[in-house]
Amino acid sequence: MSLFRPKTVVSAHCDLPCGVYDPAQARIEAESVKAIMEKYQANEDPVFRTRALLIKEQRAELVKHHLWVLWTDYFKPAALEKYPTLHDLFWQATKAAGAAGGKGEVDPAKAQKLLDLIDQISEIFWETKKAA
């Protein structure tokens, strides 16, 4: 059995060596959500508005996806100890991207709130990258 034991044990704070995760992915999609909301508000054409809503819903779903990947694959339990607000930030951000915000609203102010939450998550993310 010793033949199958690793000779070297390594650990990482995420699934793969660093460099594959970045909150910018969620932010880019959230910026699209906000821009679509602004265009929706500025246009009365019902066909345009329908298309805008469909695209906005897709982008908001991608925001949630990218946030959940960060939350579940990048951040580990030690991050909660150091950043006790982290869980709540992710909860608020995913809610702001979901039906209570990006997916269910057309108010650009709601999208800005989502961007602000992503910025807070991003700050913590980059602090953990410096420590790694």
pLDDT tens profile 77-91: 999 999 999 999 999
Q: Which are the contacts of 106, defined by CB distance < 8 A and separation ≥ 6?
A: 37, 40, 41, 53, 56
How far apart are alpha carbons 22 and 70 in whole angstroms? 8
Read off the pLDDT of each residue in 93-105 and give the average, rounded to a whole number. Answer: 89
Read off the pLDDT of each residue in 14-35 and give the average, rounded to a whole number. Answer: 84
Place of tokens 């339990």: 77
Tokens of 116: 């602000």
How far apart are alpha carbons 84 and 26 in whole angstroms? 21
How far apart are alpha carbons 70 and 5 in whole angstroms? 31
Domain range summary for the chain, segments of one domain joined by +: 22-131
| Better pLDDT: 64 or 10 | 64
Determine what percent of the chain falls in helix, strand and coil, rounding each to the nearest 5.
Answer: 70, 0, 30
Instruction: Please provide the CATH number assigned to the domain covering 22-131.
Output: 1.20.120.400
- pLDDT over 60 (residue 14): no
Entry pTM: 0.85
pLDDT in tens, 26-61: 999 999 999 999 999 999 999 999 999 999 999 999
Q: What is the pLDDT of residue 92?
A: 97
How far apart are alpha carbons 70 and 27 in whole angstroms? 12
How far apart are alpha carbons 38 and 34 in whole angstroms? 6
- pLDDT over 90 (residue 122): yes
Q: Which are the contacts of 13, defined by CB distance < 8 A and separation ≥ 6?
A: 74, 76, 78, 79, 128, 132
